[in-house]
Amino acid sequence: MEYTFLGRTGLKVSKLCLGTMNFGPYTNEVTSHKIMNSALEQGINFFDTANVYGGMFDPKSAGITEKIIGRWLAKNKSHRDKIVLATKVYGNMGVAPNESKLSAYHIRKACEESLKRMQTDHFDIYQMHHIDRNTPWEEIFQAMEQLIREGKITYVGSSNFAAWNLTEAFYKAKERNFLGIVSEQSIYSLRNRHIELEVIPACKNFDIGLIPWSPLGGGILCGVLEKAKEGRRTREPLQQSVEKLRPQIQAYENLCKKIGYRPADVALAWVLSNPVVTSPIVGPRTVKQLEENVKALEIKLDSETLNKLNEIWPGPGNQAPEAYAW
């Protein structure tokens, strides 16, 4: 396993991050525990989750994924010090008025509840799952600073932020002599390259660790033309996307076959080839899928292959504003 620093921090994380969104909805607890054991065995030390996971499609089930991780941590206390544990706050965790977003009230309450579910006394990275346009940075950072003083979190991260959100947060934190946001989770894959316009340049400029989610394009880049019998790839929305993108997918899968690698491995290798990327999130449903994901670290795509991938899945062509103006 390869390791790298998380943004401008001295924290080292594995070049692959274990995503846990499947734990509960698509992967039972026994298999989820086996996946986490396998991740540790293969050197993956970066585990990511969120308080709403388990309830993405059923709000009543929110928190299930954190509980599954918590019971895994409880079974072997030594696991906690072997991983960098990250969770998120923002999503709706109840029906009361203050059960979501990023008020200091909700940040404190959500953190306490996540700690209980995961049976730990601290999180290494506490991430804002989305931007809250109604809560001022002074309030958000005051709440995060308090959690740091109490030893409940170590670093602050973000997810789904725009470049200007990251910029504003950086300077607001600087005013407080606070480290601020050290990582950003953004959707990024061959299929979805929007963040090349502004988010990636912002992460590079402020030395914010970039943690891509959905690097396999929501299943589109996994060899989807070979029909799946179970898992998220069987969902109707994905099948509709397949029909819309069939020519591109066919060209992509043909290229992967030509160079001798699985489509999922090529997709991961492509994301990893971007020097700004810290650690893409993989969300295996089985131990076998995790083992296959790790193989992508061994793939180094040559310039000819990268050019062909750009032809099949074109990005904006440059950062903003060069991408659309002189």
Catalytic residue among 3, 53, 155, 188: 53
Q: Average pLDDT of 33-38? A: 98
- Residue 326 counted as domain residue: no
Contacts of residue 135, Cβ cutoff 8 Å, sequence gap at least 6: 101, 102, 103
pLDDT of residue 38: 98
- Residue 324 counted as domain residue: no
Residue with tokens 């170590």: 154
pLDDT in tens, 140-156: 999 999 999 999 999 99
pLDDT of residue 238: 81
pLDDT in tens, 40-75: 999 999 999 999 999 876 667 889 999 999 999 999
Residues 159-184, buried b or exposed e (16+ Cβ, 10 A)? bbbebebbeebbebbeeeebbbbbbb
- Residue 97 counted as domain residue: yes
pLDDT in tens, 243-256: 999 999 999 999 99
pLDDT in tens, 194-226: 999 999 999 999 999 999 999 999 999 999 998
Q: What's the pTM?
A: 0.94
Gap between the terminal Cα atoms of the chain:
42
- Residue 323 counted as domain residue: no
CATH number for position 106: 3.20.20.100
pLDDT of residue 279: 98
pLDDT band at 241 (very low <50, low <70, confident <90, very high): confident
pLDDT band at 228 (very low <50, low <70, confident <90, very high): low
pLDDT of residue 227: 62
The total of structural domains in the chain comes to 1
Q: Would you tell me the crossing angle of helices 104-117 and 137-149 to the nearest 10 degrees? A: 40
pLDDT of residue 16: 98
- Residue 325 counted as domain residue: no
pLDDT of residue 237: 76
Q: Is 324 a catalytic residue?
A: no
Domain ranges, residue 303: 3-312
Q: Which residue has the higher pLDDT, 116 or 57?
A: 116
pLDDT of residue 235: 66
* Eight-state DSSP code of residue 93: -
Determine phi and psi for 54, rounding to 5 degrees.
100, -20
Q: Average pLDDT of 79-101? A: 95
Share of the chain above pLDDT 90, in %: 92
- Residue 277 counted as domain residue: yes
pLDDT of residue 299: 96
- Residue 321 counted as domain residue: no
- Residue 73 counted as domain residue: yes
Residue 257, token pair as written in the block: 């076959």
pLDDT of residue 234: 60
